[in-house]
Structure 1
Amino acid sequence: MAAAFQTKKYEKFLHIIRSLVPLFSIFMLQSYLLSIDSYAQWLTECNLQVLLWFYFLLMLNERGQVYILILVATIFFIDFNFNSGHHDITSLNLVIALIGLLVVAGSAYVIQKFSKVIIENKILFVIAMVVFATAWGLLILPSQELDLLFFIALICKLIVYMTCIHMVNSVGRIQYEALIERINTDFLTQLSSRTAFEKSFDQSFKAAQNKTIQLAFIILDIDNFKLVNDTYGHLIGDAVLKEVAHAISENITHYKGAELFRIGGEEFGIILANTDYNEAQKMSLNILNAVNKLSVNTEKGTFGVTISIGVAEWLDKDKTKEIFYNRAESYLYFAKNNGKNAVTVDGVIVNR
């Protein structure tokens, strides 16, 4: 449990490293564009830069790229217009260029901030592409050599490119969501998995620390489960897991904010938002009684099932989620070490 939580400490570092890749790509491409002498070739190659910026902003959602983009757009305008001498520098030209820079900055920020909404909405997607491409066009619009039809063709080419990428990304996203669903779902019991538990437990713990919810956690373990597997076989053991999972699910459906997970071999966890000790204790006793009513028929005979339960309510002394989790787990072990088939709340067995 602790090892799994510790891996999250490196997420920010990996996030920074990932963002450097597209930024470096854009920097190299910008250097290449500024080295081109032919205006027609430069304008043709420019669509690749617009494409890359749009793609990275939309798909990777990196805010740092917005700031780099504004800087690149400014350098681009100064270098192209003043050094290359393609523009007659007039007040009107400067105003148009300023508008171009503002539109580049604004459109980049909107694309970054609402990237998920834009990806999921085809109309917004096309609008974002046109605005972003047009913003770059405003930076070069005053040029005497600019062919407006050529620039319109550039935008159309961009839309074709991005539509293809969008289609590929949509397929990839569907596959990704299906994969995440499989990862977050336990294949045997169809409950939420340990991976889903860690994420939800982390979010709930932070909410409890911020005093936005009253958090309780229940951890359950099937008694003598290894003996069941050894005596009746793993197929019967799997059937027991399914029956216990179903019994638990049936007894938490009317509790708002209750999330059930399979967090280990024969271990289950329930995260309860806005639930105090009394409600958590009541739920635990109902689950215990429901499991006690289970009867498993096999060729070797019929046997019953029992579970042990540990219940903990988050307190200010639980400074970390590991401490909170371990406290609940210690109550579970207390129940197991004192006869099993018991519910332990705050270190006290309550069903005897």
Structure 2
Amino acid sequence: MKAKNDMNQSNGSQDELVLLQQETMRQKVFSWLFENKVMLLFLIICIGGVWVSGNSAGFVVENVAVRFGRNAFTVMSLLIPVLAGLGLNFSIVIGAIAAQVGLFFAVDWGFSGIIGMLIAFLIATPLASLFGFGVGRLFNKMKGSEMIAGLILGYFADGLYQLFFLYILGGVLPVRTTSLIIPGGIGIKNTIDLTGNMKYALDGVKLVDIVMIFFIIVAVVCAFRIITKIRNKDKSLLKDVIILLVAALVYGLSYVPQIESALMTNSLSLLNVLVIGTVGVIVYAVAKLIGNWRNADSKFKKARYVAIIIAAIVVYALTYIPELEKVLMTS
């Protein structure tokens, strides 16, 4: 009888444990839905909007990809000021003023295409660094009153901005391109037409040129790190050497005739981008697993990277669905 009671208690405990696990899982699901309610609502609205518009899936995916790439530049440009502690409003305004100055001089001097963009970049970057350094120094000296300082600084910067573009340019500094001048003869128009000079300049850059630029950047960074470690008598050179060799291998592959012909284009379909992305994710996850296998870390989450590999394989497998493949090939 006692053994039977113990068995009944054990079964009851197991049932309670299963019920508790189910409730916990249900709570997790509801908690996730509540935390992501805005994103889910936005997703539902987007799906409804696409369905009502009657546009094809390829048209929607193509436009989303274009806007995603365009907005990615804005997001990346704000990473450094955010990490430095500057507010988004300050960093956007400072960067915009510097960029407009660089863009104006590049257009006025007659540069076009990717060369014009590089000239504008070379002018805007030092200016943005100088402006950011000055704002940072000012805020450090006015801790506790940053809002007031930023407000007054904004009015001051706006005055200098208008003084430069509406009075100095054309009045003090000569402007070569007369189409940029307002009818009065002094000052710059509020919009600059980039048609014929820098509009769609990045669209003409071939993929093989991007590979070459990537290799040069990686080679310079790795060479600098290797030289620094040699001077400091640091023997941990293997990682940098491997990265340099991999970059050289990738650059060398661009001379293979089949690969070179594929890279001579200036655009990729979303299908090719997706394939390259999944391969990169798998290589990254495998490298992490190998690194942990060589140097075991108790905090390393092996299941996470295995799940990443499985997810990448599933995404790649989905590209073989005819309807999805057609959409990705035409976008």
Q: What TM-score range do you get, normalising by the shorter chain?
A: under 0.3
Which has the larger helix fraction?
2
| TM-score normalised according to structure 1 size | 0.23
| Higher share of residues assigned strand | 1
Taking structure 2 as the reference length, the TM-score comes to 0.24
